[in-house]
Amino acid sequence: MTDRRDVLRAVLGAGLLAALPASAHAQAAERASEFIKSTGDRLVAVVNGPGSSAEKRQAIGKIIVAAVDVDAVGRFCLGRFWRQTSLDQQKTYLALFQEVLITNITAKLGEYQGVRFTLGRARPQDEEQVVSTVVERPNNAPATVEWVVTKPAAAPRIIDVIAEGTSLRNTQRSDYSAYLQRNNNSIDALLVAMKTQVDSAK
């Protein structure tokens, strides 16, 4: 009888342990979906709401800084070149990267007037959650956009956006790598180009 009870306890214990990760994944998926819905709703409200382009850019910038792990994305986009930069260059680069990110997102605000945002399902990817959405704009076909969320259960932040299968951070990383290779791997040259991009959008 004792042996059978021990076996039963072991089986039940194993079952409970196996159930925990599934529950944790479900909780992480729910938290990530709620986070993306909240962020998406705020972005849509700004784009479709009143205000000048400058006011909308400022409002969207605040949302991006709060929702995106800008520093982590910035380091990823610089790739192996990050280790070749000085502390001052890193600080300047991250500040400019944030401005470039906001500029890229807000450059064509007028084209997104009337945008709608529909939440889909979330799926695990390593330690992240990928939340699927459909973005609809007037006179444009619906676009599938996936948001990669890190630390979904604790402190969710966006680290990538995949639009129609294309990773935006991978694209940016390739662009920076190509630029640096054309300019003798000069970080200073990249910083000048980034500043020029930001200044020309103002």
Q: Read off the pTM.
A: 0.84
Write down the pLDDT at residue 12.
39
Q: What is the pLDDT along the chain (202 residues), one digit of tens a residue?
A: 445 444 434 433 444 334 445 577 788 889 999 999 999 999 999 999 998 888 998 999 999 999 999 999 999 999 999 999 999 999 999 999 999 999 888 887 777 888 998 999 999 988 899 999 999 988 889 999 999 999 988 899 999 999 989 999 999 999 999 999 999 999 999 999 999 999 887 6
166 vs 87: CA distance, rounded Å? 31
What DSSP element (H or E) covers 146? Answer: strand 143-150
* Residues in CB range of 150: below 8 A, 6 or more apart: 69, 72, 127, 128, 156, 157, 158, 159
Closest CA to 50 of 118, 104, 109: 109
Closest CA to 29 of 160, 162, 149, 167: 149
What is the number of helices (H) and of strands (E) in the chain? 6, 5
Write down the pLDDT at residue 19.
45
What secondary structure does DSSP assign to 162-175, as a single string?
EETTEEHHHHHHHH
CA angle 167, 126, 131 (to 5 degrees): 55
Helices 87-106, 70-78: inter-axial angle, 10-degree rounding:
110
54 vs 171: CA distance, rounded Å? 27
Domain ranges of the chain: 23-201
Name the CATH architecture for the domain at 23-201: Roll (3.10)
69 vs 162: CA distance, rounded Å? 15
Cβ–Cβ under 8 Å, residues 135 and 116: yes
